[in-house]
Amino acid sequence: MPVDPNQPDPDDASPWQTDWSAIHIALRGDPLTAEEAWSRLAARYCPAIHAFIQRLGHTEDAARDLTQSFVCDVVIGRRLFERADRRRGRFRNLLLTALRRFLTERHRAATRMKRLPPGGRTVPLDAVAPARDPAGAPDVAFARRWADILIRSALESVAAECECNGLGVHWSIFDARVVRPLLLGERPVPYETLVLRHGLRTAAQAAGMMIVVKRRFAAALRDGARETVSDDSETEGELRELAALLEGCR
């Protein structure tokens, strides 16, 4: 079969990316570019939506279907973000509120029609007890995924920036000293090793490079959070709230 260069590489795409490519194709030619922008933004946060739904007790497949339905019916179909007052509230809360409402509507409709989904039974949303483990609560699952996306995007952005600006060594040192120890629990590579590996003069030079990129990473996280709030003054509150939710998982 010939390879279509316009299609994403299936090995390189998550199920979400694949689904969203289809949605974008469906929207092609639509003059409402703002709508597309919003749908792209929603696609970015599909994993958080999915995590919330799954934590309510839905199966992986059902959660994926509901996620797709929510984004298609509510985010795009009902033009959620066009109707919402974007001058108030955070995108995360707005999305979460709409999601809760959508799931409640779905549950009521399913109950009214007394119709079971194929191969399973409906999960009564309000009957699902919150998990004892705070990390298992739907809100926290949603926040975890949200933060996960924020961090991945920030890392991607800083890595790309380093690459574009000839700061590959800076990135490598940040990776070895900060990213891998933080995310993978690896021991930081000793500075002596990094100095030899990259032909640097001193360990102090390498530490300085690490700080430069860590600052960029911190700024990229703030930029990412800023994209999801209505004004800059809310960025700090958003980061604080997310951090507190995650710290509550301990």
Partner 1 sequence: MSRRDFLPDDIAPDAAARALRWALEEATDPAQTGIDWIVSDIAPGIAGSEAFFAGGSDLAALRHAKDVFKSLRMTGRSARERRLAARFYAATIAAALVHHGTRITTQSDRAVRTALERLSQDPAVPASIRALASDALALVPPV
In degrees, rounded to 5, the angle at the alpha carbon of residue 129 between the alpha carbons of residues 125 and 134 is: 115
Comparing CB distances to partner 1, the nearer of 9 and 85 is: 9
Q: Which of residues 125-154 bind partner 1 (CB under 8 A)?
A: 135, 140, 144, 147-148, 150-152, 154
Is residue 202 part of the contact set for partner 1 (CB under 8 A)? yes
Q: Which of residues 206-235 bind partner 1 (CB under 8 A)?
A: 207-208, 210-211, 214-215, 217-219, 221-222, 225
3-state DSSP of 145-158? HHHHHHHHHHHHHH
Comparing CB distances to partner 1, the nearer of 32 and 160 is: 160
For the record, the structure tokens of 229 come out as 């709030």
Question: Which residues, 6 or more positions from 107, have their beta carbon under 8 angstroms from its beta carbon?
Answer: 122, 123, 124, 125, 126
Length of the chain: 250
Comparing CB distances to partner 1, the nearer of 155 and 229 is: 155
Q: Where are the alpha helices (DSSP H) in 86-234?
A: 91-113, 138-164, 168-174, 180-184, 191-198, 203-226
Shortest Å, Cβ 249 to partner 1: 4
Is residue 249 part of the contact set for partner 1 (CB under 8 A)? yes
Comparing CB distances to partner 1, the nearer of 94 and 140 is: 140
65 alpha-carbon distance from chain centroid: 18
Exposed/middle/buried for 7, CB within 10 Å: 0-12, 13-18, 19+?
exposed
Is residue 182 part of the contact set for partner 1 (CB under 8 A)? yes
Where on the chain is the footprint of partner 1 (CB under 8 A)? 135, 140, 144, 147-148, 150-152, 154-156, 159-160, 171, 177-178, 180-184, 188, 191, 202-205, 207-208, 210-211, 214-215, 217-219, 221-222, 225, 236, 239-240, 242-243, 246-247, 249-250
